[in-house]
Structure 1
Amino acid sequence: MNRLEGKNVVITGAASGIGRAAAGLMAAEGAKVLVADLDASHAEEAAASIRESGGIAVGFGVNVMDEDAVAAMIDRAVAEFGGIDVLCNHVGGSNPRKDLDLLRMDLDEWDRVMALNARSTVVASRLAIPHMIKAGGGSIVNTASVGGLIGDSLQSAYGAAKAAVIRLTQYIAVQYGPENIRCNAVAPGAIMTPALVDNIPADVIEGMKQANALPYLGEPEDIAHAMVYLASDESRYMSGQTLVVDGGLTSKSPLATGRSSMLS
């Protein structure tokens, strides 16, 4: 406990799933948390839940594709907490019905996904970094994806956008490391969020499980714990890195299952 004592945290996409789990865990570890989400009512609900558990949290509605709205989010955090020590650029995603393979992909969706995942990370970081410099340093935690590390048959824009987040993480780390600002990313694999459970057929979820090295899929808290580590001083000598939390998905050869049958 208290691994984030005295830290002021801003986290986007924090009203549900991984973001909500991370906001709750960070508050439980002593941080003051601005819970930001497109859905202002759900953001306030998540913040209220944290407060009921004894934590300090403020809900805030924000469209991360609107630079003025992001600026208002940063200003609110500074006004409430006195500064920003940790920025978690967690919001992201794509519409899988439009984000298809290259020939069938909706190009407007490409632009939207790049703005939602990559540009929003640039904008929020640009606005938060001056406050971190003033405070003597800070930590930026970006949410990438294994989709930014390996190819897939669909969601071309999402994969490209998350690859951009991974590379941007390194650039921020190099450019602002001298100001004692660290920047790292976490790359989740398949996680049992409400969005996945509600929108992905059971047989596809089972296929995701079979693709892992571990015999199960992750829970939101599995990624939240990684985010807490990257936000905390426990990772003080870690910067420019992408922490892959994927149940061994990207480590597993597609031949592994068939080859293991040779031993039986």
Structure 2
Amino acid sequence: MGRVSGKVALITGGASGIGLATAKLLAKEDAKVVIGDFNLEGAEQAVKEIKEAGGEAAAIFLDAGKAESIEEAVEFTVSTYSKIDILYNNVGLTNLQKDLDVVNMDLDEWDRLMNVNLKSVLLGSRYAIPHMQKTGGGSIINTTSMAGFASDAIRSAYGASKAGVVSLTGYIATQYGKDRIRCNAVAPGLILTPAAEKNLPPQVLEIFKKYNALPYNGEPDDIAYTVLFLASDESKYITGQTIKVEGGHYIANPSIADFQSFMSQARSNTKE
């Protein structure tokens, strides 16, 4: 315990999934945590659970599509705990019904995802950086996605917005490194959040696992521990990087899983 002792963190989208796992872990490691979320009731429940476990936390309503709401969350963090050392820009949206291929996507959905997934990262950083400069530095961590690196048949806007987060992460790191402000990103693959397990059929989860280098899918804590590392002084010489946390899903020739299955069957036939 104590890897982020004395630090203050604002986590956007912290009421569920990856954000919730991260909020609990940072609090367990002695950070004071502010959870900003559109689901205020969920954020308040998370705060209750953190406090029951002996941590310190506060909740605030956050609409990541509105600049004033993001600014309010940053100012609330500073007014509540006197500073902000860690900003985890974690809010992200996707819409499988409207965010389709380039010809057929809903253009209003394109604008919405760029606003929430990309502009919110810009704004959160914009409002937090001046406070970090005053206190001698900080760590900004952004949630991007493997969709920012690997294209898909749909989710064109989501992937483009997440690729933008990767690029913006480097710009922030370059522009504010001399102020001892680090900026890194985490790119999850498939993570078994409650939403993923609810919305994806077991067959789809098995398909993802089949193409992982590791024999299992990721869990929210896998991302949370990566964020903890980037938030702590253990990573003080790392900035401008995107860490891919995806079980090796994207590292191999895409045919490797089928080839391994073929070879396994061939060996089995030979033995027979």
Normalising by the residue count of structure 2, what TM-score does the alignment of the two structures yield?
Answer: 0.95
Report the 3-state secondary structure (helix = DSSP H, G, I; strand = E; otherwise coil) of the residue aligned with 2:250: helix
Cα deviations by residue, 1:111-148 (Å, 9 ceiling, x for unpaired)? 00001100000011000000000010000000000000
1:8 and 2:3 are equivalent in the alignment: no
Which residue identity does 2:2 align to in structure 1? Answer: N
> 1:105 & 1:212 partners in 2: Cα distance?
29
Deviates more, 1:46-55 or 1:203-212: 203-212
Which residue identity does 1:133 align to in structure 2? Answer: Q
> 2:124 & 2:203 partners in 1: Cα distance?
38
Which residue identity does 2:186 align to in structure 1? Answer: V
| Mapping 1:128-143, distance limit 5 Å | 128-143=128-143
- Greater Cα radius of gyration, structure 1 or 2: 2
C-alpha displacement of 1:193: 0.4
> 2:148 & 2:235 partners in 1: Cα distance?
23
Aligned twin of 2:153: 153
C-alpha displacement of 1:213: 1.1
> 2:141 & 2:22 partners in 1: Cα distance?
11
Matched residues, percent identical? 49
Aligned twin of 1:214: 214
Aligned residues: 264
Alpha-carbon contact 2:210-2:257 (below 8 Å) kept: no
Normalising by the residue count of structure 1, what TM-score does the alignment of the two structures yield?
Answer: 0.98
Kindly report structure 1 stretches of 4+ aligned residues shifted beyond 4 Å. none
Report the 3-state secondary structure (helix = DSSP H, G, I; strand = E; otherwise coil) of the residue aligned with 1:249: coil
Cα deviations by residue, 1:28-85 (Å, 9 ceiling, x for unpaired)? 0010000111111111111111011000000111101111111111111001110000
Which residue identity does 2:75 align to in structure 1? Answer: D
Aligned twin of 2:95: 95
Report the 3-state secondary structure (helix = DSSP H, G, I; strand = E; otherwise coil) of the residue aligned with 1:222: helix
1:186 and 2:178 are equivalent in the alignment: no
C-alpha displacement of 1:14: 0.3
Cα deviations by residue, 1:185-239 (Å, 9 ceiling, x for unpaired)? 0000000001111111221121111121111110100100000001100000000
Aligned twin of 1:41: 41
> 1:252 & 1:113 partners in 2: Cα distance?
30
Report the 3-state secondary structure (helix = DSSP H, G, I; strand = E; otherwise coil) of the residue aligned with 1:251: coil
Aligned twin of 1:238: 238
CA RMSD of aligned residues (A): 0.9
C-alpha displacement of 1:252: 2.2
Report the 3-state secondary structure (helix = DSSP H, G, I; strand = E; otherwise coil) of the residue aligned with 2:190: coil
- 5+ residue gaps, structure 2, are 268-272
> 1:144 & 1:223 partners in 2: Cα distance?
11
> 1:106 & 1:206 partners in 2: Cα distance?
30
> 1:253 & 1:61 partners in 2: Cα distance?
44
Aligned twin of 2:270: none
Aligned twin of 1:262: 263
- 5+ residue gaps, structure 1, are none
